[in-house]
């Protein structure tokens, strides 16, 4: 069966520091991969998605970037974090475009 892993689960970072969040999927090949941010108001905002290695689509202009160096690995990065980058970051995978997305357990990011 397929599983998705995100780490770390919790992260506290100072303003201006870099960021790297990792997401890996097991048990499937060539998945579509997604990064979301969930603010305290509960809504899920799509940040990036990827349909293959090296292919990244950005949904909103922001201080973050994403990369997909391997088929089942999706990384969310920033060179310099802002206070507004705080939130709950969720990675999701999808077998093909007509199937549901399945989410990881998320990373709680706090910026001080």
Partner 1 sequence: GQQLNQSPQSMFIQEGEDVSMNCTSSSIFNTWLWYKQDPGEGPVLLIALYKAGELTSNGRLTAQFGITRKDSFLNISASIPSDVGIYFCAGQLGGSNYKLTFGKGTLLTVNP
- Nearer to partner 1 by Cβ, of 2 and 17: the residue is 2
- Could you give the residue ranges of the DSSP H alpha helices within the chain? none
Q: What are the C-alpha distances in Å from 85 to residues 6, 11, 78?
A: 18, 12, 9
Binding status of residue 1 toward partner 1 by CB under 8 A: no
For residue 12, what are the β-bridge partners? 110
Quick one: which segment of 13-21, 65-73, 74-82, 101-109 binds partner 1 (CB under 8 A)? 101-109
Of 41, 54, 61, 69, the one binding partner 1 by CB under 8 A: 41
What span, in angstroms and rounded, lies between the C-alpha atoms of 54 and 73?
A: 10
| Per CB under 8 A, 24 contacts partner 1 | no
Q: Which residues of this protein are in contact with partner 1, per CB under 8 A?
A: 6, 32, 41-44, 46, 49, 51, 59, 90, 92, 94, 97-98, 100-106, 108
């Amino acid at each position: 069966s397929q599983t998705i892993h995100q780490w770390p689960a919790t992260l506290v970072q100072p303003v201006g520091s870099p960021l790297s969040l990792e997401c890996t999927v097991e048990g499937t090949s060539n998945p579509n991969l997604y990064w979301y941010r969930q603010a305290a108001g509960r809504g899920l905002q799509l940040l990036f998605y990827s349909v293959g290695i090296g292919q990244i689509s950005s949904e909103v202009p922001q201080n973050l970037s994403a990369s997909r160096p391997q088929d089942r690995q999706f990384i969310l990065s920033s060179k310099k974090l802002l206070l507004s980058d705080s939130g709950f970051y969720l990675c999701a995978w999808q077998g093909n475009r007509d199937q549901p997305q399945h989410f990881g357990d998320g990373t709680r990011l706090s910026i001080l």
